[in-house]
Chains A and B, each alone.
Chain A
Amino acid sequence: MNLNATLFAQLAVFFVLAWFTMRFVWPPIMKALDERAGKIADGLAAADKAKADLVHAEKKAAEELRHARESAAEFRSGAEKQAAQLLEEARTEAARVISVARDAAQAEAGVAAQRAKEALREQVALLAVAGAEKILRKEINPQAHAELLSQLKSEL
């Protein structure tokens, strides 16, 4: 418990050590601590942002899906409409073709019937002339009575 000059030596050492710490120890450690705090803050901010982005992306995906569904439905109804229209057109066309064919067939049948009638008339006329010839063998001259015969033919 004696006081001596050690006191002042210790005093000097105290300030030398304190100065050294201030100069070479404190700043790099504080710098590292602050930088790490900054990094952690950045990391947390990035995580928050990522979370927000995820929510946004999910929303966007749902939106896209809904959109796709809507457009698909649109396409389908359009296709159905078109198909129905095509069907309708085909039906109309078919009906037209059928009616045309029927008309043509009718016309042809009419012509054939006419022709058959003509031929029939011809033959009836000939038969009639032949009959008449047999009956009137002498009195009827085919040349003289041609007009009469043709009139008869048209009346049949």
Chain B
Amino acid sequence: MSSSTENAPVAGDYIVHHLTHLTNTGHKQTAVIDWTIINVDTLFWSVSMGVLAIIFMVVAARRATSGVPGRLQGAVEMLVEMVETQSKAIVHGDRRFIAPVALTVFIWILFMNALDFLPVDLLPRIAELFGVHYQRIVPTADLNGALGMSLGVLLLCLYYNIKIKGFGGWVHELFTAPFGNHPLLYPVNFAMQMIEFIAKTVSHGMRLFGNMYAGELVFMLIALMGSTATALGFFGHVVAGSIWAIFHILIVVLQAFIFMMLTLVYIGQAHESH
């Protein structure tokens, strides 16, 4: 790792510091899995963005009239209609909960992803003024955040599987699909079904996490250029930062949309019998 000036942090330290969560223990998590630790920053920012998303939607819903819509109402209505159209096409059944879930997921993830647009050092520096030394503000760039939501989708899939097919029907499907109803095929079918559920859930969460984590990392690398405090570094930071931020607009919206669509697709699959 190279450091160009005396004041600038060593690049490796800077990155590691920025990728360290604020935990309830105050220390960096060492074990890969440790259920006693909670990432306070992820929780804080995801709840904050959730509340913001809710306020955004509730304000629009409160003002919703059947007359000529205002801009806020128009924007929220466009989202609602988009989600409603998609959910109608994908899920065949009672969508009273599913469509709102998709809308929530979309707007919540959109807001959480959008935190990536804030300068990577801004909020951590402000937090440091208050004695908080670690701060990662993008909850979707935390594997716990992304997997937590995909786990929620998995639970919904299981719930709708049982609700639509009955517990017996679902268990029957677990052993007879996708290859067929034959005692010799039961273990194979069951194994395939388990792999399918696990793969769906993990890839669902990992896709979002990976995109946002990589995006965050690139922003940090770009910030490193500016931190060299040279003309070239400054120029490179401005150009690369602008380009990446503009490109990131696409990623932020696209990942939120993909997460929502996959949520609908997986819940839709739970509605269809093989």
Contacts and interface: CB of A to CB of B under 8 A. Distances in A.
Interface of A: 1-11, 13-18, 20-22, 24-26, 28-33, 35-36, 38-39
B80 A11 contact: no
A25 B148 contact: no
Contact of B143 (A1, A13, A20, A26): A1
B220 to A, nearest CB: 15
Nearest to B53: A17
Given A3-B143, A21-B103, 8 more contacts: A2-B31, A2-B34, A4-B38, A6-B38, A7-B144, A9-B148, A10-B145, A32-B66
Interface of A is mostly: helix
Contacts of A29: 57, 60-61, 64, 76-77, 80
Interface string B26-49: 000101111111110011001100
Contacts of B80: 26, 29-30, 33
A10 B42 contact: yes
A5 B29 CA distance: 12
Interface residues of B, number: 54
Given A3-B144, A4-B37, A6-B145, A33 B104 contact: no
Contacts of B60: 25, 29
B34 A10 contact: no
Nearest to A34: B66
A10 B38 CA distance: 10
Contacts of A5: 35-38
B99 A14 contact: no
Given A10-B145, A14-B149, A33-B81, A28 B62 contact: yes
A18 B264 CA distance: 13
Interface of B is mostly: helix
A67 B144 CA distance: 86
A8 B57 CA distance: 25
18 contacts: A4-B36, A4-B38, A5-B37, A6-B43, A7-B151, A9-B38, A9-B43, A18-B101, A18-B105, A20-B54, A22-B101, A25-B57, A25-B61, A29-B60, A32-B73, A32-B77, A36-B67, A36-B69
B38 A18 contact: no
Given A10-B43, A21-B57, A33-B80, A26 B99 contact: yes
A44 to B, nearest CB: 15
B64 A32 contact: yes
Contacts of A6: 37-39, 42-43, 142, 144-145, 148
